[in-house]
Amino acid sequence: MPKTTKLTNPTPPLDKATIGLATLFLTSGTTHLVRPQVFEGIVPKVLPKRRELVYVSGVAEIVCALGLLHPRTRKVAGLASAALLIGVFPANVKMSADNAKRAQRKDDVGSKAFFAGTVARLPMQWPMIRTALRASGRLR
């Protein structure tokens, strides 16, 4: 009788895109913990304990980053990273909307540039989500 082998879904390799996403998460997560006031303003006002939510999201980003880098945790970290990116998207939209008001002032070039950056960032969520899902093995 022939021996059968169990087919398993191998852990996706650690590629440049996954390393980049992990680096982004490590940087952003650290900033959440060191300078939480930067992010408090984009937490919806209906949510309680905004500072604590900023800390939690920072820790989540760091945990996802470290998980993406290790082969044993890459699959679950990829899914968690995709969920995290989807979860914070409304805050990124709020940041752009809030900065749109400031950018309307004719004499404030810095606000215009920052607003442009926040708008440019929004469509970048999709490639980051795709990278996270590839790291999870859900996309090829």
pLDDT tens track, the chain, 140 positions: 566 555 567 889 899 999 999 999 999 999 999 999 999 988 888 889 999 999 999 999 999 999 999 999 999 999 999 999 999 998 889 889 888 877 887 677 788 888 899 999 999 999 999 999 999 998 87
The boundaries of the domain holding residue 40 are 16-88+125-135
The answer to whether residue 119 is domain-embedded is no
Residue 51 lies in a domain: yes
Please report whether residue 63 resides in a domain.
yes
Q: Please tell me the distance from the alpha carbon of residue 48 to that of residue 62, in angstroms, as a whole number.
A: 22
Six-digit token pair at 82? Answer: 């995709």
Q: What's the structural domain count of the chain? A: 1
- Of 88, 60, 87, 80, give the one whose Cα is nearest residue 133: 80
Helices (H), ranges, 14-49: 16-34, 37-40
> Is 120 part of any domain?
no
In a domain, residue 31? The reply is yes
Identify whether 11 is part of a domain: no
